[in-house]
Amino acid sequence: MNTADAADRIQVKHYLPWIVAVALFMENLDSTIVNTAVPVMAKSLEVEPLSLKAVLTSYTLSLAVFIPVSGWMADRFGTKRIFSLAVVLFSVGSLLCGLSLNVPMLVASRILQGMGGAMMTPVGRLALVRTFPRSEILAAMNFVVIPALIGPLVGPSLGGVIVHWLHWRVIFFLNIPFGLIGLWLVHKHMPDFRERVPRLDWQGFLLFGTGVALLSYVLEVFGEHSMSNEAMAFMLAGAVVLLVAYAWHSRYVAAPVLSLMLFRVRTFRISVLGGFVTRLGIGGMPFLLPLLYQIGLGYAPWQAGLLTMPQAAASIVMKMSCPKILAIFGHRHVLIVNTVLLGITITIFTQIGPGTPILCILLLSFAQGFFSSLQFTSMNTLIYADVSDHDASKASSIASTAQQMSLSFGIAMASLLATWFIGGVDQTNPEETIPALHKAFLAMGIITIVSSLTFWRLRNDDGNNVSNRKVSREPVEKNS
């Protein structure tokens, strides 16, 4: 490598984390502001608050459907071009969300946003994996996440202030200036990694995307009595058939849209499947907490936003100490113990009621952010522990798809539980809403605690190459 190449590489390693951080900041700011604004948006659009879960699930569902092709597109057309396209789609989708006149239009705009987000995070993560060596991945990802966590830190309170003093549409217009900044950074400093890839597996993309969309839609309408049981059963069966057909299809295609063969890598399999179940319990919290604080406890939107700020602050604290924790205890022990602690934290929200001191709510919010941050960082870094550089884009696509599917299903499941427990009562009545939300928190906490069993199959030295953990014994063989 000559001097010019070395200087370019140093410059890329300096600016790339900031580029990815700006993209994550946009996504995190958008999601946290929207969560806080759900009750106000429901009142403005004259719908029930729980019915707005489609606004949240449509975004995460769009991510799950389009993330599988993000890795292929980055390899085929280059990370720089695809990342730019992602920022443009996300910004245009944000503009259309702010201009939406009804729920269907808002949902369609969120889907367009999701198409952009589906490429931003995995392509950014792919660029990081190909720029930094394995020993520097954890530090690089933590650096990316810390600035991005400013979004969740200021998002809830900012969203509360906006919907209290201005109009909820303004929350979507905030993404426009950040999108312009992101495009400038991408143009100046984004590396352009490319690889020779075969043609896109369109058949596999249609099978998987349609199956996931049908399954998510069934979860969304289940419990609302807006569709007959026979129709829902037919759609559920269709979704299962399509997903099974994709699994069969992927075995006989040279370059499937999602390479399921990577699940032969043990650490990858455990981190993805275990993380999927864990996120089912965590995924519904951003949807339920604004309902608890605003409808149940009667706080104004800006006050409810302030109550969630400790989560982001705790995440920043954890990101700085996470490498040391993983280096001392290892991924296996951290994931087993922390998953249980996270589940217990979720169940403690059953004790939050009208007489609960503000300090207790803030401390519980801090604990949730602390354990959630450690959980996500541990799972996300373990994904790449034993995956080759050649398969990095495939691993990124699968991992990101599984994460977004689980979060989408988590929101749908939380809404389903809340709807089930609320029954036909008035959703704006605190005395009837709070007990139902408490039962939903309990169920989600139990699911999270049980998911810790999936990490028992990890070995003590799994993930050492990404956590820089020193061990005296011989490394075990990486089998499938």
In the chain, where the domains are located? 3-200+257-467, 201-256
Domain 3-200+257-467 has CATH 1.20.1250.20: yes
What tokens does 19 get?
A: 């580029």
Per-residue pLDDT of 409-433, as tens digits, reads: 787 788 778 777 776 555 566 677 8
Instruction: Label residue 102 exposed, middle or buried (CB < 10 Å: 0-12, 13-18, 19+).
Output: exposed
CA-CA distance, 101 to 107, in Å (whole number)?
11
pLDDT at residue 95 in the model: 92
Lowest mean pLDDT across 34-48, 194-208, 347-361: 34-48
Q: Which residue has the tokens 């919290």?
A: 285
What tokens does 61 get?
A: 């569902």
Q: Which residue has the tokens 């650490």?
A: 267
CA-CA distance, 249 to 184, in Å (whole number)?
41
What is the per-residue burial (b if ≥16 Cβ within 10 Å, else e) of 437-467? Answer: bbbbbbbbbebbbebbebbeebbebbbbbbb
CA-CA distance, 365 to 348, in Å (whole number)?
10
Rg (CA), the chain: 22
Find the helix packing angle between 134-148 and 301-348, rounded to 10°. 140
Most confident by average pLDDT, 29-33, 251-255, 319-323, 456-460: 456-460
Three-state SS for 352? coil
pLDDT-based confidence at 4, cuts 50/70/90?
A: very low
* Average pLDDT value for residue range 131-157: 67
Output the CA angle 312-410-201, nearest 5 degrees. Answer: 105
Torsion region of 29: left, alpha or beta (phi above 0 gives left; psi -120 to 50 gives alpha): alpha
pLDDT at residue 100 in the model: 84
What tokens does 332 get?
A: 């296996």
What tokens does 31 get?
A: 């999601």
pLDDT-based confidence at 339, cuts 50/70/90?
A: very high
What tokens does 107 get?
A: 């949902």
Cβ pair 434, 292 in contact under 8 A: yes
The answer on pLDDT for 468 being more than 60 is no
Which DSSP letter does residue 476 get?
Answer: P
Q: Which of 185, 202, 58, 170 is nearest to 120 (CA)?
A: 185
The one-letter code for the residue type at 176 is I
pLDDT at residue 10 in the model: 65
The answer on pLDDT for 135 being more than 70 is no
